[in-house]
Amino acid sequence: MPDLFIDAEPLTIARATRWARGQPQFTFAPAALDRLVADRAVVEAHAAAGVPIYGLTTGLGGNLGYRLSTDEVLAYQRQIILGRMIGMGEPLPIAVVRTAMLARLHALARGGTGVSVGAAQGLLALFNAVVTPVVPRLGSIGAGDLGLCAHMAAPVIGEGEVFFQGERMPAAQALRRAGLVPVTLLPKDGLGLINASPITAGYAAVVADRLDTTLLTAVAVAALAAEGYAANLGVYDARIAQARPAGAQRQVATLFRTLLAGSSLYVGAARAIQDAIAFRTTAQVFGAAYAAHGLLCEAVEVELNGISDSPIVFADRGDMVSSPNFHTSMIALAFDAMAVALVQLASASVQRIIKLQTPHLSGLPKYLSPVGGASVGFNAMQKTAAAIHAEIRLHAMPASTDAIVVSDTVEDHATHAPLAIRKLDAQMDLLRQLLAIEAMVAAQAVDLRQGGALGTGSAAVHVQVRAAVPPLDQDRPAGRDAMAIASVLFADPLVDRLRSIAMAGLASSAERLPGLDR
């Protein structure tokens, strides 16, 4: 018996990425099969009538004017796929491709694609057998993912390459090992398998899922930095956030109060009336980032659940219509905006790293070195932080503002959504390294200050940092320590603990933030 049915219910980011990481067995729900059959009847009726239908009785792109003869239609399905395997570069991660496969299967189940039951079952069989197509990173401009989807669909017909049982091999070999047989495609199957945006949707879902963890951990690290700096926590007063609740500022202020609950900094007078802006405006900066994240998640889930095929089959009307839904403008804009928001977070993080090491601002030993004298402490790590920040800022250059006219000038606009997603993914890797430096410096400041209890969330980060590296007692390779911290800072134990703390605090205030309730 299958573990799960694929049907028309909404597919969330969390569900898609969780299912793709695991190995559940799926089958199409009876209602999904009924929709496939109904759509197929419309395709066959149009094919028999010989009316001009894009990709069914005509060529594609610049070959739109070419009318396929009846004898050409079947052979053309295979040609559509093989001729559009244009991808280059390193393969996309397996998790991305499996999420993309799941997104495509979900679209097939929802109806509107016109793909035959046999072709749909062929793609499902690959997913269930964990036969994962090798899909190169380069080849989609965001005006549909044909050039990459062709690589994803090719193994259905026994072509292309796959990852199977830990090896990269020809698809035909993997099918034999898995006990599967290539599918013979019917009219519109070739186009129906590739003329959509599942690679964009799948990659976007994986990155959005990583962003949940990155933002939550970043807030907790900033909370630990506030503890090390002995910052004035009055900035998280709910009345301040409510006075101008821009973005998710109000919710983030609640999150900071939750993570800092129990801190000794709430007892007695603050060390300073006002701190540097990088400490004082964390609710505002993270509030803007979380608002951008909310828009990003909304765009991704629309893409996961939308029909981006062209033509779309409307079985209730017996109709097939050309559609521009393949154009992923909202995804591109959302990911570009998020990249700018991450620069804001990175800039503030670097400033906290520097100010924690500046005695007349922090009240702590120079460079957070307990021995003083010629000790470099963490001063040299400021250069690494600045270098990482420069790369993070470089990744904020928008991907969605340029396009080259292709395909006989017919395809004259592109979103470059896959580039925007890939760029944000790389930017997040850099931000995680920067946050590891901030956590390392913040933990040292806390240890030197020896100022009482930490908040629940900041204490959880401190414990994890100290499990990875001991306090700095004399100069040693700080880069190595930061890398050790990075390896645990975003791992499940700490993230699960922070999520549990955050959700409890937000629930008590009836607040929500994207990614915390997945």
Quick one: 4-196 is in which CATH superfamily?
Answer: Fumarase/aspartase (N-terminal domain) (1.10.275.10)
Beta bridge partners of 267: none
The CA-atom distances, in angstroms, between 427 and each of 32, 329, 335 are 39, 20, 11
Contacts of 267 (CB under 8 A, 6+ apart): 452
Which has the closest alpha carbon to 436: 464, 476, 473?
Answer: 464
Residue ranges for the chain with pLDDT beneath 50: none
Please tell me the predicted confidence (pLDDT) of residue 295: 96
pTM to 2 decimal places: 0.94
Based on C-alpha coordinates, what's the Rg of the chain? 26
pLDDT value of residue 62: 65
pLDDT of residue 61: 67
pLDDT score recorded for residue 437: 98
Q: What is the pLDDT of residues 448-471, one digit of tens each?
A: 998 789 999 999 999 999 999 999
Q: Where are the domains of the chain?
A: 4-196, 204-508
What is the predicted pLDDT for the residue at 44?
86
CA quadruple 29, 33, 36, 38: dihedral, nearest 10? -120
Per-residue pLDDT, 413: 81
Facing residues of 169 across strands? 162
Is the CATH code 2.40.110.10 the one for domain 204-508? no
pLDDT digits (tens, 9 = 90+) for 105-114: 999 999 999 9
- 4-196 matches 204-508 in fold: no
